[in-house]
Amino acid sequence: MNQVDDESKVYDEPVASSAVRMTSGAQGLGDSLLRKASVAKDSVKTKLSDAGINPDEIVSSAKGRANQLASSAKDQANDLKSILINEIKARPVQSIIAAALTGLVIGVLTSR
């Protein structure tokens, strides 16, 4: 081996061992945090259960309500779309004038 290889070996070994120590330390910290989070989760579930509250039921209920709201919003948007299409077909000239005026107002407001 030449002198350059010997020097890089001298510097690489402490760097590598430091990296291994740091990695194992970080992994240990991560494992510790996961254990603490699991204990906290179990503690909260137990306390809620003791209070007569089922957390899974709460989540399920919230999901159901969110789905109902999303479905209702989608239905209302479709209804509005149908109303707008019918109004545009019934009054095409007024619709064009209203669209032009709306565009003009938005253009004036955004150009300032």
Residue 83 lies in a domain: no
Residue 70 lies in a domain: no
Task: Give the range of the structural domain holding residue 33, as residue numbers without chain letter.
Answer: 1-53
What would the pLDDT profile of 21-80 be if each residue is shown by its tens digit? 777 777 888 888 889 998 998 888 888 888 888 888 888 899 999 999 999 999 999 999
At 81 the pLDDT is 92
Round to whole Å and give the CA distance between 89 and 44.
Answer: 58
Residue, of 9 and 65, whose pLDDT is higher: 65
Residue 48 lies in a domain: yes
Residue 10 lies in a domain: yes
Checking if the pLDDT of 106 tops 70, the result is yes
Residue, of 59 and 5, whose pLDDT is higher: 59
Q: Three-state SS string across the chain, please?
A: CCHHHHHHHHHHHHHHHHHHHHHHHHHHHHHHHHHHHHHHHHHHHHHHHHCCCCHHHHHHHHHHHHHHHHHHHHHHHHHHHHHHHHHHHHCHHHHHHHHHHHHHHHHHHHHC
Residue 59 lies in a domain: no
Whole-angstrom CA distances from 79 to 65, 75, 89, 98 are 21, 6, 15, 21
Whole-angstrom CA distances from 71 to 57, 68, 85, 93 are 21, 5, 21, 34
Residue 109 lies in a domain: no
Residue 95 lies in a domain: no
Residue, of 16 and 88, whose pLDDT is higher: 88
pTM, 2 dp: 0.44
Residue 21 lies in a domain: yes
Domain count, the chain: 1
At 6 the pLDDT is 52
